[in-house]
Amino acid sequence: MDPRCDVYPFPGGAGASDVRLDAGRTLRLPVAAGTVLVARAGRLRVQEPPRWLGERMVVVGQDLAEGQAHAVDGAGWVEVGALDATGGWLRRIDPAPSPMSASMRIRLQHMVRAWRGRPASVR
């Protein structure tokens, strides 16, 4: 592993969290689809996981100036690096969890009731 690269576990759950990136450091972090990364201070380079485009593997990247944001298309690991000599601050905003639909909740309740009605030897 590159000694200038850190794997940083952001706090779990939906919401926003911030992390400081020192100059010349790269941060690897897992993200969900729809996560928004914001450069709070300094200039940052964001690289999403490689993806197939036709028959080629392509890496999507973007340089963010202070205040700019980047929405991640797909779940995976992204790399964020500080481009300025002073480093920078990254804000990660996780997508809100989608609520379970009413029809899915009803189906799940029926399945649980049916499972509870079986004899213990069958479960």
Q: Which of the following CATH numbers is that of domain 5-116: 2.60.120.10, 3.20.20.70, 2.40.50.100, 3.40.50.10320? A: 2.60.120.10
pLDDT at position 111 = 83
pLDDT at position 15 = 63
pLDDT at position 116 = 74
Q: Which two tokens stand for residue 40?
A: 């709070």
pLDDT at position 22 = 86
pLDDT digits (tens, 9 = 90+) for 65-112: 899 998 888 888 889 988 888 888 888 888 877 676 777 778 888 888
Q: How many residues does the chain have?
A: 123
pLDDT at position 1 = 42
Contacts of 118 (CB under 8 A, 6+ apart): none
Model confidence, pTM: 0.66
pLDDT at position 119 = 63
pLDDT digits (tens, 9 = 90+) for 26-76: 888 888 888 888 888 989 999 888 888 888 888 888 898 899 998 888 888
Helix (H, G, I), strand (E, B) or coil at 106: helix
Return the residue matching tokens 């392509």: 58
Domain ranges of the chain: 5-116
Residue 122 pLDDT exceeds 60: no
pLDDT at position 3 = 47
